[in-house]
Chains A and B, each alone.
Chain A
Amino acid sequence: MQNNPPEHTITTKDLSIFYGNFLAVTDVNLNIESRKITAIIGPSGCGKSTLLRAFNRMNDFVPSSHVTGEILLHGQNLYGADIDPVEVRRKIGMVFQKPNPFPKSIYENIAWGARINGFKGDMDDLVEQSLRSAALWDEVKDKLKKSAYELSGGQQQRLCIARTIAIQPEIILMDEPASALDPISTLRIEELMQELKQKYTIIIVTHNMQQAARVSDYTAMMMLTGDSRSGTMIEFSETKLIFTNPRDKRTEDYVTGRFG
């Protein structure tokens, strides 16, 4: 296994993302390695969320947005004419910054996504498996019929992760998944991510440098550059290199807290 060349899942080529005329992200070229955790870091407003949402075409819901360049998933352009965004989102799941469970029961939160995607297996089984994978099963197994809104914020976020796992995506995108949580819940989510990377490729946006250093294998550093103040990726490498031996002076300033 160790000697196999890294398998790339998502590859971007000269990816730029616009909101109307505003160039939010320019010229991103990166390779996301399979079954690894890639962190995207950078100051506020540099386009991290924009980039992340481009990966599963959630930006489609901003009518003014459009992309140039390519995002390839196993060589297939996600913005190609023959690609249905619904299918993209089925393969690339997303966990949002604020926990947003459905106003339904815990059970239904997991089951709904699977059902609409045509899941034919044993639903009870799937719900249990997903909750176990999200390290939530023991806490909720006795109240599956209760509203998801009765859970704590940290539990809700793990439920959202379980909901994403339930549709068996290949990649899971996480946009600051722990920013609304306390340190203990944050730690649980981080442990969970380590578990999940056995099976899934994870891309996480975070403002927390320790978190990026703790959980990720690769780190993409983004920064606002140029006169147009649009975001771009200034450095991408193994996490330990970014934090111990960054090539770019701006990265060094940022990760050591000397930025700004």
Chain B
Amino acid sequence: MNNPQTDNFPEGPSFRRALNARYRSASLWQMVFLSALLIAILSLMTLLYTVADGAFGYVAYEYKHDPTEFSSTPLNELGKDELLSILQSNLSAGAFKKLDNEKPMASRSHADLYSLFLERLLQIDTKQIWSMTDSFLHAAEIRAEATHKYPDAQLEFRSWLTPQFLSSPMSSRAEFAGVRTAILGSLWLVGIAILFALPVGTGAAIYLQEYASKNWLTKIIQTNINNLAGVPSIVYGMLGLAIFVRLLEPLTSGAAFGVIDSNGRTVLSAGLTMGMLVLPLIIINAQEAIKAVPDSLRQASFGVGATRWQTVWHHVLPNALPGILTGSILALSRALGETAPLIVVGASTFISVDPSGPFSKFTALPIQIYQWTTRAQPEFHAIAAASIIVLLILLLSLNAAAILLRNRFQRKY
């Protein structure tokens, strides 16, 4: 051990002391990371709890009219035929005809007729609603308060998220409003956005990675794409308004294809705007995925006399596909949740007709949520909370579908 450098390393007890110090700082950092994780989980739980808190709970409600005015049968024993005759005899002839035209009354379900009965005849009137936490913790007080303040009212524990809520269109009364139109609008929107952005973005990424020579121009383009990913979404809304809604109105309104009586504020315009919004995201992700394909694979392909296009099509793309799809999952989530650009390009705030094609007027879930949260009546806040749950579930299931698709393409080496 006469190497002079050996003396510069701690030995024996002093080495152990130094080692203990290293372990101490290591466990300190470990604690820091763990608490970061806990904070993240906690915030997420709080978020979910707040949403659920609003979507479930006690409601006190009255009927404007007494059920006995229409029938002597107790409400929960009313049969389908009886409901039909009650509606027929109590609604105005015009109103009944209108409903019958929408969907023949005789073919409607019991639940459908019952909700018509509640909405049109009994005219439910929500007096007060309580949060889920209150409903669980202070059930007795709530019951006492309700009987005291609203002696005629009924009290029930309600989930605002019901199958009815999913399948009903928009309504001016929170008790009967649903999100069907908004869900369909959101699906159309995301579908159009991905249909536009995925091929265009992947194409651009292929060009940038595999064809473009690395010069100052590509550097500028690359920097711009990276920056575009961070541009506030409202700016994309303005862009969409100027280009798709106004400039390309003949195309986006469908006027050029024979659609009459329509303007540029269609689901197509909004979808394309969303497509622009997620385009940088998709390009960057696809580039990363293409970069991750090992060069040895490209060399192998060129080595057997493949052209660049054959190399890209047969080797680079298939191997980058899982990564590209991961990018589209991110894009999907972004498009589903964005609100600001939709407001700018003109999503409808009150619409009860399902979108039937690219040239339809539309609304989307975030717009609907935003609308309802701005209303004064608390029952609208409750259905806003319920729609947030719908939005989250939709998000998770679309992502799950995309992940399943990706795993199918994942290569098993």
Residues of A within 8 A of B (CB): 56, 58, 61, 63, 86-87, 89-90, 93-94, 96, 98, 100-103, 112-113, 116-117, 147, 149, 160, 163-164, 166-167
Interface centre among B301, B302, B315 (most CB of A within 10 A): B302
With A90-B305, A112-B314, A116-B305 as known contacts, state yes or no: A63 contacts B300, CB within 8 Å.
no
* A residues near B297, Cβ cutoff 8 Å: 100, 102-103
Interface flags for B278-314 (1: CB within 8 Å of A; 0: not) read 0000000000000000101111111111110010001
The answer to whether B98 has its CB under 8 Å from any CB of chain A is no
* B residues near A149, Cβ cutoff 8 Å: 413
CB-based nearest B residue for A64: B214
With A63-B213, A103-B319, A116-B310 as known contacts, state yes or no: A89 contacts B302, CB within 8 Å.
yes
Given contacts A61-B302, A63-B213, 6 further A-B contacts (CB under 8 A): A58-B299, A89-B302, A100-B294, A103-B297, A163-B304, A164-B303
CB-based nearest A residue for B295: A61
* A residues near B412, Cβ cutoff 8 Å: 147
* B residues near A100, Cβ cutoff 8 Å: 294, 296-297, 299-300
The answer to whether B411 has its CB under 8 Å from any CB of chain A is yes
Q: How many residues of B contact A (CB 8 A)?
A: 22
CB-based nearest A residue for B318: A103
A56 to B306, CA, bound (A): 13
CB-based nearest B residue for A57: B302
Q: Closest CB-CB distance, A172 to chain B, in whole Å? A: 10
* B residues near A58, Cβ cutoff 8 Å: 299, 302-303
List B residues 180-214 near A (Cβ within 8 Å): 213-214
Sample (23) of A-B pairs whose CB atoms are under 8 Å apart: A61-B299, A63-B214, A86-B305, A89-B303, A89-B304, A89-B305, A90-B305, A93-B303, A96-B300, A100-B296, A100-B297, A100-B300, A102-B300, A102-B301, A103-B319, A112-B304, A113-B304, A113-B305, A116-B310, A116-B314, A147-B413, A149-B413, A167-B305
* A residues near B294, Cβ cutoff 8 Å: 100
CB-based nearest A residue for B307: A86
Interface centre among A96, A112, A117, A147 (most CB of B within 10 A): A112
* A residues near B411, Cβ cutoff 8 Å: 103
A98 touches B304 (CB 8 A): no
Q: Closest CB-CB distance, B295 to chain A, in whole Å? A: 9
A61 to B211, CA, bound (A): 11
Q: Closest CB-CB distance, B207 to chain A, in whole Å? A: 16
B296 touches A96 (CB 8 A): yes
B315 touches A102 (CB 8 A): yes
Q: Closest CB-CB distance, A57 to chain B, in whole Å? A: 9
CB-based nearest A residue for B293: A103
A21 to B275, CA, bound (A): 44
* B residues near A117, Cβ cutoff 8 Å: 304-305
* A residues near B214, Cβ cutoff 8 Å: 63
A166 to B300, CA, bound (A): 14
A113 to B314, CA, bound (A): 11
A93 touches B299 (CB 8 A): no
CB-based nearest B residue for A110: B304
CB-based nearest B residue for A98: B296
A90 to B304, CA, bound (A): 6
